[in-house]
Amino acid sequence: MRPRYASTSSFSHSFGPGPLTPVIRILVYTNIAAFVLTTFAPAPTLWFGLRPADVFGGLMIWQPVTYMFLHGGLFHILFNMLALWMFGTELERMWGSRYFARYYFAAGVGAAVTTLLLAWLPGPFGAGLYQSLTIGASGAVYGVLLAYALYFPNRPIYMYFFFPIPAKYFVMIIGGIALLSSVGQSGGGVAHSTHLGGLIAGYLFLKRGRFHPILELRYWLVRWRIDRSRRRFDVYDGGRRDRIH
């Protein structure tokens, strides 16, 4: 049974969402264990990180899943696990552990599939992706950020810890950065492509069976007009209650 979508602008003054929920606890502990292991024995990274050449040529079909549990440095895993806790805990409480786990892996594997598909592009960008090694939970975490912004669009997020902006705009900004970085750099856009893939996969998972590009464009135009009117004239939110907004 799919969860219903809701919108709220409530704000909690306490730091963090509370204790780790069951799935997030397992993910955090597993990522930490894998990080400690690969710190002292880095060889498994080459087997379990995502490298399109290995997936297509060596049939290492486990890599689109296992790459999510590997990280390249302390700050890499720290920020990913912090974001997973900060933004995923409330989603798991709201959705339930089973649905959250399905969503998390759908976003992470979808990010890997995006990287694999882009690796077939002609030119230096595709060639760079084909031979590159991608690790980290960032693709799945970006999917979590997207879901958080869709359910709590006006919840403030402190960008760079100083500038509060609504969650919906925060995700738009990081999505735009990922898109521009992935198309603008031949080699450095590898991780950005995975981030963008996590956003896309997460959105399609939440919208599965109900996605129509023209209707979506029309709906978001109506939503934009309603939000603009609300800011100008203090009107109440409108739109279809069964839709993400």
Domain 22-211 has CATH 1.20.1080.10: no
Of 25, 17, 201, 202, whose CA–CA distance to 97 is shortest?
A: 25
Query: Reduced to 3 states, what is the DSSP secondary structure of residue 32?
Result: helix
Q: What is the pLDDT of residues 73-95, one digit of tens each?
A: 898 899 899 889 989 999 999 99
Q: Is the pLDDT of residue 9 over 50?
A: no
- Check pLDDT > 70 for residue 7: no
The pLDDT value given to residue 224: 66
Please give the mean pLDDT across all residues of the chain: 80
- Write out the two tokens for 203: 């959105």
- Long-range (24+ apart) CB contacts under 8 A made by 189-194 are 189/125, 189/128, 190/115, 190/128, 190/129, 190/132, 190/134, 191/134, 191/136, 191/138, 193/114, 193/115, 193/118, 193/129, 194/50, 194/111, 194/112, 194/114, 194/115, 194/134, 194/136, 194/138, 194/139
Tell me what pLDDT residue 8 has. 41
- 182 has pLDDT over 80: no
Give the integer Cα–Cα distance in Å for 207 and 3.
Answer: 12
Q: Which of 22, 245, 10 is nearest to 147 (CA)?
A: 245
Average pLDDT over residues 194-221: 75
**Which of 124-138, 147-161, 177-191 has the weakest average pLDDT?**
177-191
Give Cα 105 to chain centroid, integer Å: 10
Q: What is the pLDDT of residue 223?
A: 66
Would you say how long the chain is, in residues?
Answer: 245
Lowest mean pLDDT among 3-7, 97-101, 118-122, 203-207: 3-7
Residue-wise pLDDT for 50-69, tens only, equals 999 999 987 899 999 999 99
pLDDT (0 to 100) of residue 129: 86
Q: Mind listing the pLDDT tens digit for each residue in 230-244?
A: 666 654 444 444 444
Closest CA to 107 of 178, 172, 204, 20: 204
Q: Of the segments 67-71, 215-219, 223-227, 233-237, which one has the largest average pLDDT value?
A: 67-71
Give the tens place of pLDDT for each residue, 104-147. 999 999 999 999 998 898 888 788 888 899 999 999 999 999 99
Domain ranges of the chain: 22-211, 215-245
Say which residue the tokens 């995006």 belong to.
114
